[in-house]
């Protein structure tokens, strides 16, 4: 039974891969359309986290605290609250909500680059540490549960990030983003089907 479930999870992970890849690809395009130096500082924040993570400090303490806070907020959804804690990045959400408040209500834009830098930092921290945590939780060599979960988490986390950025910019572009992801993933499915048909 466990083997059967593992096979099903692996197949679902493979099917989810085009959606995850399309989400990441469209998110990159989304950041390229951000105003001013936002994109540059966001990616500098990503690079900054990777540098610190590899050579200095892995941030497990802050990460686990953020996970506990989100899981506590969504305690009423238990046991799904643990998955929600992986999907909704605590620090990134706080940073972008503060950014939205500062920019749109206080009308202060002097700190935009700081917000975007730390947004990129928190975004990368959440992805890398979530991937590490999920991978360590499964001891199997192939890890089908990890593969499926990380595909879902990555896709949904990117969706949350785009929605938060929309709140900052006061522009609701999420429907266009979602449609682009669907179109790109669908093209991959069609291409894969056509190639399999040729091999037959």
Which residue stretches of the chain are H helix? 2-32, 38-55, 60-73, 81-87, 90-104, 112-137, 144-169, 174-199
What's the domain range around 49?
Answer: 2-199
Residues with Cβ within 8 Å of residue 109, at least 6 apart in sequence: 103
Provide the pLDDT confidence category of residue 1 given band limits of 50, 70 and 90. Answer: low
The mean pLDDT value for 88-102 works out to 96
Whether residue 60 is predicted with pLDDT greater than 90 in this model: the reply is: yes
What pLDDT digit, counting tens, does each position of 168-195 carry?
A: 999 899 999 999 999 999 999 999 888 8
pLDDT value of position 138: 78
Task: Say whether pLDDT at 156 is over 70.
Answer: yes
Distance from C-alpha of 197 to C-alpha of 111, rounded to nearest angstrom: 54
Least confident stretch, 65-74, 98-107, 131-140, 158-167: 131-140
Residue 197: its pLDDT value, please?
Answer: 74
Q: Which residues of 130-166 are buried (b: 16+ CB within 10 A; e: fewer)?
A: bbeebeeeeeeeebbbbbbbbbbbbbbbbbebbebbb
pLDDT for residue 126: 97
pLDDT at residue 200, as a whole number? 59
For the chain, what's the residue count? Answer: 200
Q: Which residue has the tokens 């949350």?
A: 160
Cβ atoms of 162 and 96 closer than 8 Å: no
Whether pLDDT at 36 is above 90: no
**Per-chain mean pLDDT for the chain:** 92
**How many domains does the chain contain in total?**
1
Is a pLDDT exceeding 80 seen at residue 140?
A: no
Q: Measured between alpha carbons, how far is residue 45 from residues 54, 74, 136 in Å? A: 14, 28, 26
In the block, residue with structure tokens 């990503």: 46
Q: Residue 70 pLDDT more than 80?
A: yes
pTM here is 0.92
**Residue 73 pLDDT > 90, yes or no?**
yes
Weakest-pLDDT range from 5-9, 42-46, 134-138, 140-144? 140-144
């Amino acid at each position: 039974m466990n083997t059967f479930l593992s096979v099903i999870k692996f197949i679902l992970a493979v099917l989810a891969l085009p959606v995850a890849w399309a989400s990441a690809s469209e998110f990159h395009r989304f950041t390229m359309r951000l105003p001013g130096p936002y994109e540059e500082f966001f990616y500098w924040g990503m690079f900054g986290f990777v540098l610190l993570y590899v050579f200095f400090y892995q941030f497990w303490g802050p990460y686990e605290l953020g996970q506990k806070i989100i899981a506590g907020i969504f305690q009423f959804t238990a046991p799904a609250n643990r998955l929600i804690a992986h999907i909704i990045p605590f620090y990134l959400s706080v940073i972008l909500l503060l950014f939205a408040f500062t920019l749109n209500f206080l009308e202060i834009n002097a700190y935009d680059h700081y917000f975007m830098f730390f947004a990129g930092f928190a975004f990368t921290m959440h992805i890398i540490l979530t991937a590490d945590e999920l991978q360590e939780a499964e001891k199997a060599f192939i890890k089908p549960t990890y593969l499926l979960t990380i595909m879902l988490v990555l896709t949904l986390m990117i969706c949350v990030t785009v929605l938060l950025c929309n709140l900052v910019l006061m522009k609701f572009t999420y429907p266009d983003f979602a449609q682009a992801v669907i179109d790109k993933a669908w093209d991959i499915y069609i291409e894969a089907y056509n190639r399999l048909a040729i091999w037959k």
